[in-house]
Amino acid sequence: MVVGAVLAGPRVARADDGSGGTVLSVSGTKTGAYPIAIPVSIDGDTAAAKDIATVASFDLGVAGVFKVLDSASFLDKTLGLDIDPQKWKDVGAYGVVKYKATADAVEFRLYEVSKGTTPSLTKTYPRKGDTRTITHRWCNEVVKYYTGETGFFGSKIAFTAKGKGTSAIYAMDFDGANAYSVSKNSSTNILPAWSPSGGQIAYTSFMRDNPDLYVAPAGGGRPTKVSAQKGMNTGASWSPDGKQLAVTLSKDGNAEIYIISASDGAIVKRLTTDKAIDTSPAWSPDGGSIAFVSDRNGGPQIFVVGVGGGTPKQVSTNGSYNTTPAWSPKAGKHVIAYTTRDGGTYDIVTLDLDSKAMVRVTQNEGQNEEPAWAPNGRAIAFARAGQGVFLANADGTGKAVKIWSGSATGVDWGPAPAP
């Protein structure tokens, strides 16, 4: 895991939301990311303090709205949980996080420098768990205070880790920590998909020779075979209520998109009927649409069809190769991220289906594929060929940050953590 790395956040505007909290919004004038300082506490448990500063710097650095300042520039050496506002103004900080860890608890304070010596947010957490978990919880509070959104710190990412002749389904903390194997066999396992509750992961395995679809506990328990139709049973995407799965089946000789029951694999509906190859379904967060990939118009492109069926509509228009669609979870938005090859490399882009605006998330940074959205839509995880799993700001600003090293594909981001 790369810690302390900072993505230049999106351009933000600041406004009072009426409740005393400062709101950062990407819809305002583009004025720059919000500069926030996280000094290492020199009071209390100093070993825990260093870990907290490292985790908090990473979390807020990839949140999509902050610029975490370099600690080498800090002038305020005030002990304890207080601040000297002028010294933080002098180094360009708008916000300051102070904290103190003891054997029993960790107390955090968030200061807005313009508001003086009174903290804007204060939280105390008993040290019943590790300091990483505590720090994630605090940083989620900071994100919510500034943006009104739920943070994604403490969520998990699943992916396919490729080995020699085999591949395994892995899951890890969103920042690359605590990686573990979900699949427990030595076969080929691909395309993990988190259930909406975060309690299960669907994936395709060749453990019985055929590419069958399994659902396993997210912690890595015994998998249950859900779909074992002849041929492909791949690319599962859960319905928002967790009761159904959109999948690719080739039981009739051609790859088509179906909806099946998540409990027993019973076919609910066939969505496509075309001589072309239809694959990689992605269920929209409002439950009304399925995005998928088809080469019915030539090269692979992104199409959208209603869950009730109908004529699919091609939505991608750039280049001749577009695959692996993933819907933004932001309510009221209709944005899809996908893999594109409209030049010499594979890159991640997003497409707003309403405005038709396209944002390039990666460019000239290796071969990038299979995007997955953070639970709040601020960041995107993806695989970079031969290098690992990366995070990037969904608005295309800043540089991507590596969170896992190795050969990976099939990235999927789990739901937001419990408060």
Q: What is the pLDDT along the chain (419 residues), one digit of tens a residue?
A: 333 333 333 334 443 333 334 455 544 334 479 999 999 998 889 899 999 999 999 999 999 999 999 999 999 988 889 999 999 999 999 999 999 999 999 999 999 999 999 999 999 999 987 999 999 999 999 999 999 999 999 999 999 999 887 899 999 999 999 999 999 888 999 999 999 999 999 999 999 999 999 999 999 889 999 999 999 999 999 999 999 999 999 999 999 999 999 999 999 999 999 999 999 999 999 999 999 999 999 899 999 999 999 999 999 999 899 999 999 999 899 999 999 998 789 999 999 999 999 999 999 899 999 999 999 999 999 999 999 999 999 999 989 999 999 999 999 999 998 87
pLDDT in tens, 276-292: 999 999 999 999 999 99
Considering Cα of 113, then 114, then 119, then 125, what sign does the dihedral take?
negative
- Residue 188 carries which DSSP code? B
Maximum distance among all Cα pairs of the chain, rounded to whole angstroms: 71
For position 6, what pLDDT does the model report? 36
pTM summary value = 0.92
Instruction: Return d(Cα 12, Cα 25) in angstroms, integer.
Output: 5
CATH class of 156-413: mainly beta
Instruction: Return d(Cα 200, Cα 140) in angstroms, integer.
Output: 23
Considering Cα of 387, then 378, then 353, then 248, what sign does the dihedral take?
positive
pLDDT in tens, 373-411: 999 999 999 999 999 999 999 999 989 999 999 999 999
Closest-CA residue to 175 (of 55, 92, 263, 332): 55
Instruction: Return d(Cα 388, Cα 400) in angstroms, integer.
Output: 12
Q: What are phi and psi of 276, to 5 degrees?
A: -75, 175
Q: What are phi and psi of 73, to 5 degrees?
A: -90, -5
* Domain 13-147: assigned CATH number: 3.40.50.10070
What spatial distance separates the first Cα and last Cα of the chain, rounded to whole Å?
24
Instruction: Return d(Cα 37, Cα 270) in angstroms, integer.
Output: 53
Report DSSP letters for 44-91, one per residue: B-HHHHHHHHHHHHHHHHTSSSEEEPPGGG------TT---HHHHHHT
- Residue 231 carries which DSSP code? S
CB 171 within 8 A of CB 201: yes
Question: E strand or H helix at 217, and its extent?
Answer: strand 210-217
CB 38 within 8 A of CB 98: no
Domain limits of the chain? 13-147, 156-413
Instruction: Return d(Cα 292, Cα 322) in angstroms, integer.
Output: 10
Report DSSP letters for 261-313, one per residue: ETTT--EEEE----SS-EEEEEE-TTSSEEEEEE-TTSS-EEEEEETTEEEEE
Closest-CA residue to 172 (of 372, 398, 385, 376): 372
Report DSSP letters for 313-351, one per residue: EE---SSS-EEEEEE---TT--EEEEEE-SSSS-EEEEE
Pairing of strands 34-37, 95-101: parallel
